[in-house]
Amino acid sequence: MTTITKMPLGKNGPLVSKLGLGCMRMSSVWGGQTNDEHESIATIQAALDNGINFLNTGDFYGSGHNELLVGKAIKGRRDDAFISVKFGAIFYNGQWIGLDLRPIAIKNFINYSLVRLGIDTIDLYQPCRMDSSVPVEDVIGTVADLIKEGKVRHLGVSEITADQLRLANSIHPVTALEIGYSLADRQIESDLLPAAKELGIGVVAFANTAEGLLTGEMKAPLAADDYHLHFSRFQGDNLVKNLEKVEVLKRIAKDKGFTPTQLAIAWVNGQGDHIMPLVSMSRRSRLPENTQAMEIVFSAEEMDALNTHFAPGSILGGTYLQR
């Protein structure tokens, strides 16, 4: 299997694997079924065995189930793993009902996370997104306090604007920005990515296949109970036209001897040494394919063709739910 290289997470930040493992889908998503726990744990451990040390979870994934799962997988090998945890989202019966970013809530959240994970310190701790109910200064200041207490090592942020990123970094150095980024979602290239690079902040890029759109396996119409229908990108004519755009990716992938998913990951990987593709996996069988994607190199012509065909705004609809 491919040897995963390391990258500094931000300027002077910790060394982490250039490929990250997203653990979210190992737990119930959108109220769906939970994956086989034994296979999920084996997948995390196989990832660690192959040099993927960045593990991403959230205290609200499966109402704590995901953290418990990660905790079981890293038991006895804490030093092999770099644990990233998101907080702040409130779910009830599998449905999002809001955010709670109050300092008192954050201090409560982290204690539960530490217990579920079975660790003393979280490597990267980050609000899942910001809202206007609590000042950024209070949210970031609380995490900064947790760093001083030794419960957290590094501050991260997620789904944030460029202005919020600059403000957060002025309060306490931000180590990493977690954000959706793919050939189909390039709007952050105008201001957020340049801001992160200027500030020396690492980028953890999730949704590399745009929630499955770029896998080449999706077909229209979707089943009535498919969770993708939460997003405008997969609704009606939007999906039909978007799948037509994906045909170019499928053709290039076939010509290179890889899958569209591999090319989607490789494109994100190729956007900079400070950018980490965060790939969700729940089965060991996916590891060879996804790690191989990190070795794919595009010619200038191929990269130009992809960037032109998937220019910002070319994909209709989005995958961001306005909460």
Domain CATH for 148: 3.20.20.100
33: containing domain? 6-213+260-298
Give 62-103 pLDDT, tens digit per residue.
Answer: 999 999 999 999 999 999 999 999 999 999 887 889 999 999
Q: How far apart are CA 209 and CA 101, in angstroms?
A: 29
Q: Which residues pair with 176 in a beta bridge?
A: 156, 202
Catalytic residues: 61
Q: What are phi and psi of 257, to 5 degrees?
A: 85, 25
Give 42-59 pLDDT, tens digit per residue.
Answer: 999 999 999 999 999 999
Q: Which residues pair with 6 in a beta bridge?
A: 17
Give 182-224 pLDDT, tens digit per residue.
Answer: 999 999 999 999 999 999 999 999 999 999 999 999 998 999 8
Q: Would you say the pTM of this structure is higher than 0.85?
A: yes
The single-letter code of the amino acid at 115 is V
Q: Which residues, 6+ apart, have CB-to-CB distance to 278 below 8 Å? A: 20, 21, 22, 54, 56, 178, 204, 205, 206, 208
> Considering the domain boundaries, does residue 242 fall inside one?
no
> Considering the domain boundaries, does residue 252 fall inside one?
no
> Considering the domain boundaries, does residue 34 fall inside one?
yes
Q: What are phi and psi of 293, to 5 degrees?
A: -60, -25
The two structure tokens encoding residue 321: 């739910």
CA-based torsion, 205, 130, 210, 197: positive or negative: negative
pLDDT for res 225: 85
Closest CA relative to residue 20, chosen from 294, 277, 281, 296? 277
What is the domain count for the chain?
A: 1
> Considering the domain boundaries, does residue 244 fall inside one?
no
> Considering the domain boundaries, does residue 87 fall inside one?
yes
